[in-house]
Amino acid sequence: AQSVAQPEDQVNVAEGNPLTVKCTYSVSGNPYLFWYVQYPNRGLQFLLKYITGDNLVKGSYGFEAEFNKSQTSFHLKKPSALVSDSALYFCAVREMSNQGGKLIFGQGTELSVKP
């Protein structure tokens, strides 16, 4: 069965510094990986996805993610953090089964960017 783990409940970064939000996955076959962001009392917004191809995926709002097959990781990165990046971030993997291609989510990582 597919699964995804986000090992950090919270990440604290100073504005202007690079940020990394970690994600590891377990899949059988090729992984379909996604990152979403959630602001308070809002739905999830799609940031980026990895399907195949380049290991560095670029997404919305200056975010990118690095796919590493040997380490089964898909870490979210941004070179220079903004206070407005503070939010809850979810990594997800596509369930390759009859369950409608459902997404399996990590438990989320709270990112806090301080001025």
Report the residue from 1, 9, 54, 115 that binds another protein according to the rule CB under 8 A. 9
Q: Which of 47, 45, 61 is nearest to 113 (CA)?
A: 61
Count of residues engaged in binding another protein, rule: CB under 8 A:
25
49 binds another protein (CB under 8 A): yes
Q: Which of 106, 109, 110, 84 is nearest to 34 (CA)?
A: 106
Report the residue from 25, 34, 74, 89 that binds another protein according to the rule CB under 8 A. 34
The answer to whether 95 touches 103, Cβ cutoff 8 Å, is yes
Q: Which residue has the tokens 């709270």?
A: 110
Stretch that binds another protein, among 18-26, 61-69, 72-80, 101-109 (CB under 8 A): 101-109
58 binds another protein (CB under 8 A): no
Stretch that binds another protein, among 12-20, 67-75, 77-85, 96-104 (CB under 8 A): 96-104
Q: Which residues would be at the binding site for another protein (CB under 8 A)?
A: 9, 32, 34, 36, 41-46, 49, 51, 90, 94, 96, 98-103, 105-108
